[in-house]
A and B are shown apart, each in its own frame.
Chain A
């Protein structure tokens, strides 16, 4: 990242240095770097909240926090991880990689790119500082369900505004990505020749544009219910509290895929590179991604099976949700078929990619279990669901982010990362991840609700185990920090084509690190 600075000088125009470089930058690489660091800081912040939660749950009884503060922790942990850690990291990858992978010099709207990043710290500060206002932070869950969310103090308004700002940032980022991909591809790069990461981001960006306004709308309705006498969600005034859930999850389910589709893209770049074999079923991967995106709009009420919706609606949403297993299965089969009869090596990116395929699939299977409405009645709002979505979001999205960071660090910095540290990071993360989240399946089945600060005695053993896993997993992430800093500072020089099997444009046409403006003259793609 420092290394790219050297290239900043060789273009003959002025670049501010120091802090102003980062504040005023319109360069896709700088902005990508900002997104990734922001995301890492938020990951640590959200992780600290999670460790406080797990510390309280180490033993039955209330030891460390009060029940109100516990609810604030779970609420902010969710909001920070979803909107602060996972989504910005994916946008960071898009910024760094999309222009290089399609043979473009930069993003289509560089100034808007700058603004969409710099809105994020504003929203993050608003969210985090809400812990210190009277009454403390929002405590109604990251899903903000009314009427509970209508109770409570000014922090709920801060949360609403933070969500607005994050939404604006995401929409601008998405418009930028769509425009870049559709208009700035190198000659000869047809849509069906784009690297899969670019495809997944194109589809994700459309999802963002479709659903972020829906979220903004519904939180605005919360705001007017709170302060301006409307009754959207108040039955006494003719509203319906469950309507919020419908609107929220109409956003919320595509949101799940917003967080996982770019992850699929990263994994689809890495597995072929380390299997030294082209991705199996490229076209079916594209179609599967699009199918998942389309299905994501018609499954939202599977988050609401216990609200008492009509039986016919329960049946529809169950069938539609089960259907998602088909394109998701196709993806997993394609990855396995890509490895099949390859010539594999197992550097850190590949380890995280394989970890992703295994553990994400466990999350996919528990997702199928949750899709079955009668079974979901038992496990809705229990630790089973907590286990499920951490298997898809941590060992899914986050593992893909780790894999991508190790995969592209040599390209970005021009230095090899420390392979030993990378492998240590992978193995410790994977062991502790499973110690942390696997027992939660059992807790949920045995009847432990989520979002409770204290629990009955029969849940004690697995909770203690999960807490041990949580601290192990949390501390393991510091290895990533050390590895990345060491890699930025120096290390063995990385070749332009760092990985033997990697064949997208950034590897075949650009040195490591790449020049400040990736492709000043577009490459010709055959």
Chain B
């Protein structure tokens, strides 16, 4: 066992090894990395001393060698010494740890703030001052997961829209969740903070160098907990400014006019995209669902029955189940489109159309 522990710590020397924490990309992550190495070595040292003594004893003090048992069974001095020494070591460990905590928890004076909301099973990044809002979901294709296609380099650690931040700036995150508890974790920055529905918690990071950094949701949040990655693209100040400008243009171009009346085909085309991004994880791409937890859309009472009831459940969710309230997540056009899609695709043919204006009326 001693050899095993030694092996672990030898490996700890090599940076970016598969035996240790990832290479730190922020000051906090560096502090954590150093603390971990320090404590590892202290533990290895104690292990070697204590178990060195034990294995020496096992080697020498055995009956088969004719060793006669001594009969001592207490020694106050020795007992006091081995109570006091560990205590002193612990105090020595506590000092740098305390410093690191105080630094880690000091989210004051940030350069920018992003609100992060966890959903089952995607992240929303809301850049309050820049006016940018992104939904960030897994982009690994399903066929890679079920093994019918070759797995890509960033299998399960890739998203459609990454969080983008400037290098060298203190980014404060305000974290919350919409349904269950999630946890936002990027190892390279040394940040992990639970996102708790109904509460806002803050955390911060300052990324040193431009690059792409990956993490995952770290709190069990249901079926697709393992499929909820986090990707942060760190850009130079100029590139970041360019990205912000692009996003604004793009969101203006992409946003469909909520005041227009759309044709069935237009709604279904948009609805298919919305469905794939928001609904397919549970109800499945073909609408078959995974009953009983995740009911089918195809032929369901809700998707083929009363239109108002269908819109209501999509907008308000269903308490006590994993069905989220999408009214807050999606705009009028997307809600109208996805309900139209569900009622006229996936094997359903109600012929009903829902227009953005219908949704808008319901919001009042």
Q: Which residues of A contact B (CB under 8 A)?
A: 60-63, 66-68, 71, 134-136, 139-141, 145, 147-148, 150-153, 226, 234-236, 240-242, 275-284, 306-308, 311, 314-315, 318-319, 322-323, 325-326, 329-330, 332-333, 336-346, 354, 357-359, 361-362, 365, 368-369, 372-375, 377-378, 380-382, 434, 438, 441-442, 445-447, 449, 451-458, 461-462, 501
**In the complex the two chains form, is A359's CB within 8 Å of B101's CB?**
no
Chain B residues within 8 Å of A152, by CB: 293
Closest 10 CB pairs of A and B: A235-B198, A452-B226, A308-B201, A343-B69, A365-B43, A374-B100, A341-B70, A278-B73, A148-B180, A381-B218
Chain A residues within 8 Å of B326, by CB: none
B222 at the interface (CB under 8 A from A): yes
Between A337, A438, A442, the greatest number of chain B beta carbons within 10 A of the residue's beta carbon is seen for A337
Q: How large is the interface on B (under 10, 10 to 19, 20 to 34, 35 or more residues)?
A: 35 or more
Chain B residues within 8 Å of A150, by CB: 320
Within the assembled complex, what's the spacing in Å between the Cα atoms of A462 and B19? 10
**In the complex the two chains form, is A339's CB within 8 Å of B54's CB?**
yes
- Residue in contact with A373 in the complex, picked from B58, B72, B97, B225, CB distance below 8 Å: B97
Shortest Cβ distance from residue A512 to the other chain B in the assembled complex, whole angstroms: 22
**In the complex the two chains form, is A447's CB within 8 Å of B69's CB?**
no
- Residue in contact with B94 in the complex, picked from A60, A319, A344, A377, CB distance below 8 Å: A319
**In the complex the two chains form, is B62's CB within 8 Å of A61's CB?**
no
Can you give 18 contacting A-B residue pairs, CB < 8 Å?
A: A61-B145, A150-B320, A242-B199, A277-B71, A281-B79, A311-B105, A315-B101, A318-B94, A329-B86, A330-B82, A336-B54, A344-B67, A354-B54, A358-B1, A359-B1, A372-B97, A378-B192, A455-B156
Chain A residues within 8 Å of B87, by CB: 326
Chain A residues within 8 Å of B147, by CB: 61-63
* A interface: dominant SS: helix
Chain B residues within 8 Å of A226, by CB: 320
Known: A308-B193, A372-B39. 14 other contacts (CB 8 A): A61-B146, A148-B180, A240-B198, A282-B73, A329-B83, A340-B70, A374-B32, A374-B104, A377-B192, A380-B192, A446-B19, A449-B225, A452-B216, A454-B156
Residue of B nearest to A380 (CB): B192
Shortest Cβ distance from residue B63 to the other chain A in the assembled complex, whole angstroms: 5
Of B45-53, B234-242, B333-341, B354-362, the stretch lying at the interface with chain A is: B45-53
Shortest Cβ distance from residue A281 to the other chain B in the assembled complex, whole angstroms: 6
Chain B residues within 8 Å of A240, by CB: 198-199
**In the complex the two chains form, is B93's CB within 8 Å of A306's CB?**
no
**In the complex the two chains form, is A374's CB within 8 Å of B224's CB?**
no
Knowing A60-B151, A147-B179, A373-B97 are in contact, say whether A134-B292 is a contact too (CB < 8 A): yes
B128 at the interface (CB under 8 A from A): no
**In the complex the two chains form, is A354's CB within 8 Å of B320's CB?**
no
Interface residues of B in 2-36 (CB under 8 A from A): 4-5, 8, 18-22, 28-29, 31-32, 35-36
**In the complex the two chains form, is B22's CB within 8 Å of A375's CB?**
no
Within the assembled complex, what's the spacing in Å between the Cα atoms of A281 and B82? 12
Knowing A445-B19, A457-B155 are in contact, say whether A377-B104 is a contact too (CB < 8 A): yes
Interface residues of B in 158-214 (CB under 8 A from A): 175, 179-181, 183, 185, 187, 190-194, 196-199, 201-203
Within the assembled complex, what's the spacing in Å between the Cα atoms of A446 and B193? 18
Residue of B nearest to A74 (CB): B220
**In the complex the two chains form, is A344's CB within 8 Å of B58's CB?**
yes
**In the complex the two chains form, is A306's CB within 8 Å of B36's CB?**
no
Residue of A nearest to B219 (CB): A381
Residue of B nearest to A309 (CB): B201
**In the complex the two chains form, is B63's CB within 8 Å of A344's CB?**
yes
Chain A residues within 8 Å of B306, by CB: none
